[in-house]
Structure 1
Amino acid sequence: MTGVGVEVLGVVAVGIGAAAVLFASFHALRKAGIEIPRWLLPAGIGLAMVSYSIWSDYSWYGRAVDRLPAGSEILLVGHKKQAWAPWTYVFPVAVRFAAFDPATIQDDSDGVRHGQIMLFERRGQTLIVPQDFDCQGSRIRRAGADWTTADESDPAFLRVCSGARG
């Protein structure tokens, strides 16, 4: 099941749980003589489902970071504003990030360092991208590509090559 499928299943489960709790509560209130408007049941279920969806969107980044290997560092975080969620125009939601595990750094005899960049995307697959770093020559080589000049502000280059250049 994909990430979207799991989310839909979670929203449906929250809806069913909210329906059970609200139905039992409203039934008890009616037995006690308190009349509850019938529209409150579907409104409460809908509110629970929307609340869960918002919580899931905003907590995804923190939950994903918590699952990273110990010592991993976040390189970049991408935020997005979504038309179907107007509150994201005020509080953009994290939808992707790049992380680096320093334990993956390996040195070659020719001075090239190898590392793995982890790319995470909300509702997408996680990618592990191996990269080579020539710290002395300020170059990066992505898997299956040629050497390119490293941008001195590239967070992966800065992290892998910190202390490696002489």
Structure 2
Amino acid sequence: MFIELIATVFAGLACAGIAMFLNTITGKRLPKWILPVAAGLGMLGMTISNEYTWFDRTAETLPEGITIAMTVDEQSWGRPWTQLWPYTKRFVAVDTATAQTNENLPDQRLADLYFFGRWSPVNLAAMLFDCTGGRSALLIDGATFATDGTVTDADWQQMPAGDPILKLVCET
């Protein structure tokens, strides 16, 4: 975030410098307000660019075996251009390389999910999926495994048909 702030400030300075150069070569005929407007437009442009390129930059750094399962695009009236071109603000990635199965329960999969957000820290959650039943259980406090591999005290939630996370986990 700090690097993006520095880049935004430098974009403003660069645009103001271009405006100063244009003002000089036109014999100082440009209005005085052109410098702050150019700086503001440069900073706004850099901010917009960072918003739209965040997902691609983050996705490129994911290690092998981590697959993006779902993205969440955002539109905001405070950013009117997003009404035409929404940008990806959040996404969920599944660690398919370390997903586990139990031979006693072949229709269940255990996988780690990573939740990424534009201005949020990455969150990790272990989740159990029932591929046949189309449901999932977040493995947090209270869920324990029996000796045969079944999970006790799991809070199973029905997932919508065609859920991209369930589909990805159950196909791998």
- State the TM bucket, normalised to the shorter chain: 0.7 to 0.9
State the TM-score, normalizing by the size of structure 1: 0.78
The answer to whether the aligner puts 1:49 opposite 2:43 as a matched pair is yes
Structure 2 segments unaligned to the other structure (5+ residues): 141-153
Selected match of 2:164 from 130, 138, 155: 155
Structure 1 segments unaligned to the other structure (5+ residues): none
Q: Which residue of structure 1 lines up, in the alignment, with residue 155 of structure 2?
A: 146
Q: In 2 relative to 1, CA 83–8 (structure 1 residues): closer, same or farther, beyond 3 Å?
A: farther
CA distance in 2, matches of 1:21, 1:137: 62
Superposition deviation, residue 150 in structure 1: 4.1
CA RMSD of the aligned region, Å? 2.5
* Structure with the largest fraction of strand: 2
Superposition deviation, residue 142 in structure 1: 0.7
Q: Partner of 1:35: helix, strand, or coil?
A: coil
CA distance in 1, matches of 2:109, 2:75: 37
For this pair of structures, how many residues does the alignment match?
A: 157
- 8 Å contact kept, 1:81–1:93: yes
The within-5 A match list for 1:15-26 is 15-23=12-20, 25-26=21-22
CA distance in 2, matches of 1:148, 1:50: 42
Superposition deviation, residue 109 in structure 1: 4.1
The answer to whether the aligner puts 1:116 opposite 2:112 as a matched pair is yes
Q: Partner of 1:36: helix, strand, or coil?
A: coil
State the TM-score, normalizing by the size of structure 2: 0.76
The answer to whether the aligner puts 1:40 opposite 2:49 as a matched pair is no
Q: In 2 relative to 1, CA 84–7 (structure 1 residues): closer, same or farther, beyond 3 Å?
A: farther
Superposition deviation, residue 8 in structure 1: 3.6
Q: Deviations over 1:48-82 (max 9, x none)?
A: 11111111111111111111123433222111112
